[in-house]
Amino acid sequence: MIEGRTAMLNLLAWAERFISTPSVSRDGNAQIAAAACELLGEIGVEARRESACVDGVVHQTVIADVGPREGSDGLLLLTHLDTVPPGNHKAWTATGADPWKPTRDGDRLYGLGSADAKVDLVCKTAALAEIDREKLRRPVRVIGTFGEEIGLVGARWLLDNGLAEGFRYALVGEPSELVAIHAHKGRRVFEARIPLEPLGRLGGRVLRESFEGRSAHSSSPELGENAIDAALRRLARGDVVGLIDLSGGEAVNKVPEHCELALLVEAAEPGESVSAWRAAPLVRFHCQLHEILNELREHRDPSFDPDHSVGSLGCVALREGTAVLEFDLRPIPGVDADAAVAPLEQLAELRCLRANPALGTPLDSPLVKALVAAQESLGIGSRVGTKATCTEAGLLSSAGLEAVVIGAGTSVGNVHRPNEFTRISELHAARDLYREVIQRLCSEEAESCS
């Protein structure tokens, strides 16, 4: 064994363990953080955990340093450890209705978080296991963040606490099929509160309807079917007297697959007496939102897929006579999301909950060049592109780092929906790619890290 190296990890076994460890954002990530520390410990790298409390939930950031403690132009290897909620367990047909049951099928590995994105930390750790770490001449810091799926809160905490200071480069794990993502869209998350006029207690026919859609990532809403949109279209029909109750959606970055609606409709004979609210303001807001989304489609940038700004209505609830909606917009460069939604301010109390910056790392940056050289050396071929989703890389870039998003697995049409999977062959290729990039940027054999 070469000094500074340890025995290679069983990458697939660790990938399966990560999948089997639940880490939904809203529940905290203590279990997966502990597993990540154990993983790093297996290759002789000491990791620490730092805790943060967000909305009453305790989360943990995993941090491990490799190479010299002092120096400039260091490299961050960053992966978020949290996942979106799994949704309807029965829809996970590839895993026997258990989202956390890692299931192999040929080259595919199914399970929540297989692609997005916690298994990526296993690939990065496996890469470090194959490197002679005694030859590193620049700092390398491995970071497992929390709360990426609920507003990049872990990456914000990381920057606020100075844990990226002294580092120049960042490899941010997200599914990209090993394409080096040098640019992505920004994202705005909005909350709209629409007061509804009470109608008092009325007699009529009460209908309780369930709407089923198809989940997808909100960056590609056309791949899903929005159950909230379906419920609001039903609310706009002429037979509706009033709204009784409304709820749907799990996460604003996920096209909702389920929505419940209770409404009062016209009836020949008065029925039970119930409290209801006039639905017209909510219907008008819904129509205006879709007019805005249609207008945004007219501005296009062919370097992105989808090639236009998109938006998705993610959550809705009726709270004491006020309809509360959350939706997001993902603008292409040159589109002002705040200006686009301005007409909605006439119909609702509107506020921006999250503002995530876009990413734009130059193609001639040392990090992009190192990735391309590594791709070519492994026979992958130069693969550089853009991404429709927003990631932690945008925040790191805004803090002055050169950041690139890359990882195994397919993003579009795969993540944030049942039967998420990654390709086992890509996990091994990701390990090899990370190993090559670390050596090119940070080892003593590197010709230049400038």
Give the model confidence (pLDDT) of 106-155 as tens digits.
999 999 999 999 999 999 999 999 999 999 999 999 999 999 999 899 99
Tell me the pLDDT band of 448, cut-offs 50, 70 and 90: very low
Strand partners, 21: none
Residue 255 lies in a domain: yes
Given this model, what pLDDT does residue 431 score? 98
Q: Which domain holds residue 213?
A: 188-356
- At residue 90, the 3 state secondary structure works out as helix
As a whole number of angstroms, the distance between CA 277 and CA 200 comes to 8
Of 356, 388, 414, which residue constitutes the final position of a domain? 356
Same domain, 403 and 416: yes
Q: Cα dist. 28→33, 34, 43, 153 in Å?
A: 10, 12, 26, 12
- At residue 393, the 3 state secondary structure works out as helix
**H or E element, residue 53:** strand 47-54
Residue 5 lies in a domain: no
As a whole number of angstroms, the distance between CA 68 and CA 449 comes to 15
Same domain, 265 and 213: yes
pLDDT in tens, 313-348: 999 999 999 999 999 999 988 889 999 999 999 999
Same domain, 263 and 346: yes
pTM for the predicted model, two decimal places: 0.79
Same domain, 174 and 83: yes
As a whole number of angstroms, the distance between CA 258 and CA 211 comes to 6
Same domain, 138 and 34: yes
Ranges of H-type helices in 30-176: 30-42, 119-129, 153-160
Residue 285 tokens, joined: 């807001």
Same domain, 372 and 308: no
As a whole number of angstroms, the distance between CA 346 and CA 415 comes to 35
Same domain, 401 and 343: no
Contact (Cβ atoms closer than 8 angstroms) between residue 361 and residue 368: yes
Same domain, 242 and 351: yes
Of 321, 356, 391, which residue constitutes the final position of a domain? 356
What torsion, rounded to 10 degrees, do the Cα atoms 362, 363, 368, 369 define? Answer: -130
Crossing angle (nearest 10°) for helices 366-377 and 424-442 = 130
Crossing angle (nearest 10°) for helices 119-129 and 30-42 = 20
Given this model, what pLDDT does residue 447 score? 46
Contact (Cβ atoms closer than 8 angstroms) between residue 52 and residue 146: yes
Number of domains in the chain: 2
Given this model, what pLDDT does residue 184 score? 93
Given this model, what pLDDT does residue 271 score? 66
Of 332, 356, 380, which residue constitutes the final position of a domain? 356
Contact (Cβ atoms closer than 8 angstroms) between residue 36 and residue 121: yes
Nearest to 17 by CA among 95, 112, 102: 102
Please tell me which residue, 352 or 333, carries the higher pLDDT value. Answer: 352
